[in-house]
Amino acid sequence: GAVVSQHPSRVICKSGTSVKIECRSLDFQATTMFWYRQFPKKSLMLMATSNEGSKATYEQGVEKDKFLINHASLTLSTLTVTSAHPEDSSFYICSARGPGWGEKLFFGSGTQLSVL
Amino acid sequence: AQKITQTQPGMFVQEKEAVTLDCTYDTSDPSYGLFWYKQPSSGEMIFLIYQGSYDQQNATEGRYSLNFQKARKSANLVISASQLGDSAMYFCAMRGASTGNQFYFGTGTSLTVIP
* Per-residue 3-state assignment (H helix, E strand, C coil) for A57-79: EECCCCCCCCEEEEEEECCEEEE
In tens, the pLDDT along B32-43 reads: 999 999 999 888
Residue of A nearest to B4 (CA): A43
What was the pLDDT predicted at A58?
93
Check: CB of residue B27 under 8 Å from CB of residue B2.
yes
Q: How far apart are CA A84 and CA A81, in angstroms?
A: 6
Which residue did the predictor score with more confidence, A98 or B54? B54
Q: How many CB pairs under 8 A join A and B?
A: 54
Q: How far apart are CA A78 and CA B29, in angstroms?
A: 32
- All residues of chain B having their beta carbon less than 8 Å from the beta carbon of residue A44 are 45, 91, 105
What was the pLDDT predicted at B94?
92
Which residue did the predictor score with more confidence, B102 or A57? A57
What was the pLDDT predicted at A47?
93
Residue among A10, A105, A106, A109 with most chain B CBs within 10 A, to mutate: A105
Task: Give the 3-state secondary structure of residue B21.
Answer: strand
Residue A105 and residue B44: Cβ atoms within 8 Å?
A: no
> How far is Cα of residue B106 from the mean position of the Cα atoms in its chain?
9
Check: CB of residue B77 under 8 Å from CB of residue B58.
no
Q: What is the pLDDT along chain A (116 residues), one digit of tens a residue?
A: 678 999 999 999 999 999 999 999 998 888 889 999 988 777 888 899 988 888 899 988 999 999 999 888 889 999 999 999 999 999 999 999 877 777 778 899 999 999 99
Q: How far apart are CA A54 and CA A84, in angstroms?
A: 25
Residue B47 and residue A105: Cβ atoms within 8 Å?
A: yes
**Could you tell me where the DSSP H helices lie in chain B?**
none
> How far is Cα of residue A15 from the mean position of the Cα atoms in its chain?
20
Check: CB of residue B90 under 8 Å from CB of residue B46.
no
- All residues of chain A having their beta carbon less than 8 Å from the beta carbon of residue B103 are 34, 46, 95, 105
A55–chain B nearest CA distance, Å:
15
Q: How far apart are CA B37 and CA B66, in angstroms?
A: 12
- Burial of residue B24 (CB within 10 Å: 0-12, 13-18, 19+) is middle
Contacts 24+ apart (CB under 8 A), A17-21: A17/A83, A17/A84, A18/A80, A18/A81, A18/A82, A18/A83, A18/A84, A19/A80, A19/A81, A19/A84, A19/A113, A20/A78, A20/A79, A20/A80, A20/A81, A21/A78, A21/A79, A21/A80, A21/A81, A21/A92, A21/A94, A21/A111, A21/A113
Residue B102 and residue A46: Cβ atoms within 8 Å?
A: yes
Check: CB of residue B66 under 8 Å from CB of residue B34.
yes
B108–chain A nearest CA distance, Å:
6
Report whether pLDDT(B2) > 90: no
Q: Among partner residues A34, A41, A107, which is closest to B44 by beta-carbon distance?
A: A107
